[in-house]
Amino acid sequence: MTDPSVDEAPASTVVTVYSDYVCPFCYLGRESLRQYQATRDESLEIDWRPFDLRSGQRGPDGEIDHSVDTGKDDDYFEQAKENVRRLQEKYDVEMDLDLATDVDSLDAQVASYYVKGHDDYETWPAFDEALLDALWQDGRDIGDESVLVDLAADAGVDPDEIRAALDDDALRAELEEQFRAAQQAGVTGVPTFAYDGYAARGAVPPEHIERLVEGTHDA
């Protein structure tokens, strides 16, 4: 398996982004990153690193167990919704959902991890963006294999490759190792943007990312 953290790409600035597709702030953070990128002449490459927000909620059958105490009550989720709506307005982006607590992104991350490691540099960003838009713009269940296959095909990936990737236990083991690596790197929440040994956590504004990448590193 090709190391997914090393892609063949034109020379560019590389920003590492730890994220999970079911995190609304990851979607909003990507919009902030896109707005920052639009101000640059030099290309900006995303080195996506997976993070698993649902790990403590998955039962033995792989389904999300909503009875698990995550330490997050109704007040937490209401505040999260308010923050999502505030950032939607700030970044001028519309979302079909505020939260996606019923969606498990594990299979989406398996598929994305596969595409990032096996396809050309242009393919993964298109697939990654399609996954985010499918959930947050269209309200589609990105935990559904048929949805993943459709999105992959639209991005130019052979659907049979995605089906095989989802059945690949070795690939899933590699992804689990990536989850552990994120924790070992000190990532405790997403999105986390990392560059040159510094990091910024949360759906920070474009100027915050600019400082991280180009300036004082006080983000």
6 domain residue, yes or no: no
Q: How many structural domains does the chain have?
A: 1
pTM: predicted TM-score of the whole model, two decimal places:
0.90
Residue 85 pLDDT: 98
19 domain residue, yes or no: yes
149 domain residue, yes or no: yes
219 domain residue, yes or no: no
- Sign of the alpha-carbon torsion through 212, 213, 215, 217: positive
Token pair for 22: 């079911």
pLDDT 10s digits, 67-118: 888 888 999 999 999 999 999 999 999 999 999 999 999 999 999 999 999 8
Work out the average pLDDT over 160-172: 97
> For position 109, which CATH number holds?
3.40.30.10
pLDDT 10s digits, 189-219: 999 999 999 999 999 999 999 999 998 554 5
27 domain residue, yes or no: yes
206 domain residue, yes or no: yes
Print the domain residue range for 56: 13-214
Whether pLDDT at 10 is above 50: no
- Model confidence at 3, pLDDT cuts 50, 70, 90, reads low
pLDDT 10s digits, 172-188: 999 999 999 999 999 99
87 domain residue, yes or no: yes
pLDDT 10s digits, 35-47: 999 999 998 999 9
1 domain residue, yes or no: no
Residue 141 pLDDT: 97
Residue 1 pLDDT: 47
